[in-house]
Structure 1
Amino acid sequence: MTAFDWQRMLIDKLPLQFLFEVTLRTLFAYLVVFSFLKISGRRGVRQLSLFELVVILTLGSAAGDVTFYDDVPLLPVAMVFLTLLVMYRVTTYAMERMPRFGDWLEGKPAVIIEDGVCDVPNLERKNISTDEFFMELRQKGVEHLGQVRIGIMEVNGDVSLYFQPEDQVRPGLSVLPSPLRQQYRQVPAAGLYACTCCGKTTELQAGGGGPCSRCKHEEWSEAISSQRYAPS
């Protein structure tokens, strides 16, 4: 083999006309994947469940191979598409008829925030760090946990939020990144502080601190009580 052999690197032993066949194969693969998403009724990746994502990846693998391998015929890929579509229909039907099967396959929504306090064990079971979760909250216009009445982690990884009425917003933990909020093991002044792990608020005296009564975490941040300004 000769290094930097441009003939081999660019097209090897295939004729130049094969490039037009690649165009046709790519169009075929695109239409197959697009048709699946259209028939299944899904409009975006954020709406895909774990099962649906596996189906799409499987279909994408088959569609990817057919685009540029000259020895991969088109009809078997079409059969892969039909088989996956039947599996999808059967599985979704079974999930509707057998809720336990659906919960096992996709998981269940989990309440992560309730009345301004974060359920850390539920968050850990979802394999999501507090920093990642707080990033989701910031993107939805949340400044601190006290603004949130209920926060639910959906099965597709999205976060659904129900906010406190304006007159019931309570002091809570800021969701800003750690470098942008002061954190203490011993607080500098008396006041209301929030646990930086679960968000539980506690009145502390100057020099006070210690473990949170809810999660045993030992770092505190001054609780804030600003109102939420919804995006216009």
Structure 2
Amino acid sequence: MTAFDFHRFLLNDLPATFLFEVAARVLIAYIIVFIFLKVSGRRGIKQLSLFELVVILTLGSASGDVTFYDDVPVLPVLMVFVILLLLYRTTTFLIARSVRFSKWIQGEVVTLIVDGLYELKSLDGLNISEDEFFMEMRQQGVEHLGQVRLALIELDGQLSIYFYADEDVIPGLSVLPPPHRQDFTLIRESGLYACTHCGQTAELMGGSSHTCPRCKAEKWAKALSSVRNH
């Protein structure tokens, strides 16, 4: 192999028409990665929008190959950057011009909790575990859902929480992990309990099992009514 062989450096014996194949490959990769991320959910993206993450992943793959392998020509990789830039510009243009397209690409803000209760449609439609929401709420000082007036999942996956004033806190479902919260299917002692699925509270009689009137679940935890530590 001869160093600085410009023919190998630019196309490596590939025909110039291969650049059109590169454009098709980039478009296919863009669509496949986007659909995968769209279907799998947007959590974990954080500060990036969905299509921005698609661009970064595709660019990372293309630039990584040309960096490490001597048989990967440069011009096709440059074509990758050009096509991705065009796709990015087209996507941002359509987002700015079409509300419907913008919602499809970026999604919508999801209402997770209202007045200390889970929104059932939102909860059942999200591809994410309850433990992750509980972890984020604990990190923001939440001990139980009765402290939360409104909780939203933003476009970047972050959780925004709006709290009740201390005097307005209502009994709610504990968000503490299993070592600090015991769940029951058979209620042993009468008292105020919260459904572990939707957060609905109810006075339950001991010695029997109970079905949640709101979501039909059968697992309960003792409701908490403590205020937040400021």
Give the TM-score normalised by structure 1. 0.74
CA distance, structure 2, for counterparts of residue 80 and residue 141 of structure 1: 45
Deviates more, 1:190-199 or 1:175-184: 175-184
2:150 alignment counterpart? 150
**Secondary structure of 2:111 counterpart:** strand
Gaps of 5+ in 2: 4-43
Q: Distance in 1 between matches of 2:86 and 2:139?
A: 37
1:14: Cα distance to partner?
Answer: 10
List per-residue Cα deviations over 1:192-214 (Å, max 9, x = no partner): 11001111111112224411011
Asked if 2 retains the 8 angstrom alpha-carbon contact of 1:130 and 1:197, the reply is no
Deviation, structure 1 residue 81: 2.4
Counterpart secondary structure, 1:160: strand
Q: How far apart, CA to CA, are the structure 2 residues paired with 1:51 and 1:126? A: 19
Q: What is the match of residue 104 of structure 2?
A: 104
d(CA) in 1 for partners of 2:96, 2:120 = 30
- 3-state DSSP of counterpart to 1:47: coil
Percent identity over paired residues: 56
Contact 2:112 2:122 in 1 (8 A): yes
Tell me: CA distance 1:163–1:14, structure 2 relative to 1, closer, same or farther (3 Å).
Answer: farther
* Residue 61 of structure 1: aligned partner: 61
SS at match of 1:203: strand
Q: Could you say which residue in structure 2 is the equivalent of 1:186? A: 186
User: Letter of the aligned partner of 1:134 in structure 2?
Assistant: F
Q: In the alignment, what sits opposite 1:95?
A: 95
Q: Whole-Å Cα distance in 1 between the matches of residues 109 and 71 of structure 2?
A: 45
- 8 A contact 1:210–1:218 mirrored in 2: yes
Deviation at 1:75, TM superposition (A): 4.4
4+ aligned runs moved over 4 Å, structure 1: none
State the alpha-carbon separation in 2 of the partners of residues 111 and 49 from structure 1.
19
Please tell me the root mean square deviation across aligned C-alpha atoms, in Å: 2.2
Change (3 A) 1:78 1:139: farther
SS in 1 for 2:46: helix
Letter in 1 for 2:170: R
Distance 2:207 2:121 in 1: 29
The alignment partner of 1:202 has SS state of strand
**Paired position in structure 2 for 1:215:** 215
In the alignment, is the contact (CA less than 8 A) between 1:111 and 1:119 conserved in 2? yes
Distance 1:14 1:165 in 2: 73
Instruction: Work out the CA distance in 2 between the residues paired with 1:88 and 1:220.
Output: 48
Instruction: Quote how far apart the aligned CAs of 1:188 are.
Output: 2.4
Please tell me the residue identity of whatever aligns with 2:225.
Answer: S
**Which residue of the partner structure matches residue 18 of structure 1?**
none
Query: Retained in 1: the 8 A contact 2:112–2:152?
Result: yes
Q: Distance in 1 between matches of 2:63 and 2:141?
A: 39
Aligned mates of 1:54, 1:165 — CA distance in 2: 41
SS at match of 2:131: helix
For residues 96 and 203 of structure 1, the distance between their equivalents in structure 2, rounded to whole angstroms, comes to 51
Instruction: Kindly tell me the number of residue pairs found equivalent between the two proteins.
Output: 190
Give, in whole Å, the separation in 2 of the partners of 1:197 and 1:178.
15
* Alpha-carbon shift at residue 110 of structure 1 (Å): 1.1
Distance 1:71 1:142, change over 3 A: same
* Aligned-partner SS, 1:46: coil
Matched residue type, 1:151: A
CA distance in 2, matches of 1:86, 1:123: 36
Structure 1 residues 1-232: aligned runs within 5 Å: 46-230=46-230
Quote the Cα distance in structure 2 between the aligned partners of 1:179 and 1:124.
Answer: 25
| TM-score (normalizing by structure 2) | 0.75
